[in-house]
Amino acid sequence: MASGFFVLLDDIATLMNDVATMGKIAGKKTAGILGDDLAVNAEKASGFVSERELPVLWAITKGSFINKLIILPIAFLLSYFLPWIVVAILLVGGCYLAYEGVEKILEYIFPHETEEETKPSINMTKEEVMDFEQSKIKSAIITDFILSVEIVIIALGAVSGESIGTQIIVVTLIAMLATVGVYGIVGLIVRMDDFGFKLVANGIRQNLKSKIRVGRFFIKALPWVIKSIGVLGTIALMLVSGGMFVHYIDFIHELLHAWPAVVAELTVGLVVGFCMVGLVKFARWVIGKIKKT
């Protein structure tokens, strides 16, 4: 009986060691997409009056957890019964990430006019403000769902060779830690300007120019922080998407095996992204022609 208990402990220790090892690998694989996730959600959670930022962020966070509860069981069932489909979904996701990344690059180089996003104003009634918040929350949760699918599938692909038990533990931990980490950092970012305003107010009361300077720095830094995260997130998108094709398509892997990994992944990500942008624009052109006839 005692020996059986110690065997069980040894099995648990082995499992946890496997989980820790595979967790590091899956964490590295999904780290790239988290940069874009962080930038998107920081933008989605900003633009509210100060006292509503954290409640709105909490509502989005709860929606993100519900997204994970929907996605995770489906992903595990697919991995167990149709393991080949995980790679197929990864490559489709890679096309989407590459397209999204190149679209952001093209938008930066050739900016085009877009409809201005509705923002709350002092003329809004309480009901209109609540409707605005709900629409922003719903939009953020839908975006989070797409990014969550990518995170879960990438993490699942990183541990696809492990037992289903290890897959469930590792991918669930990655998904939940990603949610806590991303939205925790977003919470700090969106409160940065409020912290700056408080420092400025305290500095004025105490006649401390150093506090005022630091406070103004935080206020001015907020849009730059969000923009910088967006740039890093876009680079991460290209690396993650390119990495999927480099690692899961033998032809591409053999063709670029002598290249530095970062260069190979970035190049493939850009090539796939430009091809996807071209295909999408061509499809829109064809659909436009069909509608006119």
Q: What percent of the chain has pLDDT over 90?
A: 12
pLDDT in tens, 153-189: 878 877 777 778 878 888 888 888 878 877 777 777 7
Considering only CA atoms, which of 274, 270, 265, 83 is closest in space to residue 167?
83
Six-digit token string for 210:
């150093």
* pLDDT score for 289: 84
Lowest mean per-residue pLDDT among 7-16, 144-153, 207-216: 7-16
* pLDDT score for 5: 32
Q: At what angle do helices 209-248 and 261-292 cross, to 10 degrees?
A: 80
Q: Are the C-beta atoms of 203 and 209 separated by less than 8 Å?
A: yes
In b/e form, how buried is each residue of 2-25, taking b as 16+ CB within 10 angstroms?
eeeeeeeeeeeeeeeebbeebbee
Six-digit token string for 59:
């509502």
Distance (Å) of CA 31 to CA 43, 151, 174, 237: 19, 9, 10, 10
Number of domains in the chain: 1
pLDDT in tens, 201-211: 888 888 778 88
**252: Cα within 13 Å, side-chain hemisphere:** 18
Say which residue, 140 or 271, is predicted with more confidence. 271
| Domain limits for position 232 | 2-292
Q: Residue 281 burial by CB count (10 A; 0-12/13-18/19+): exposed, middle or buried?
A: exposed
Is the model's pLDDT at 226 over the cut of 80?
Answer: no
pLDDT in tens, 241-259: 888 898 889 899 899 988 9
pLDDT confidence band for 107 (50 / 70 / 90): confident
Can you tell me the distance from the alpha carbon of 140 to that of 174, in angstroms, rounded to the nearest whole number?
20
Give the ranges where 46-83 is alpha helix by DSSP (H).
50-81
Say which residue, 223 or 37, is predicted with more confidence. 223
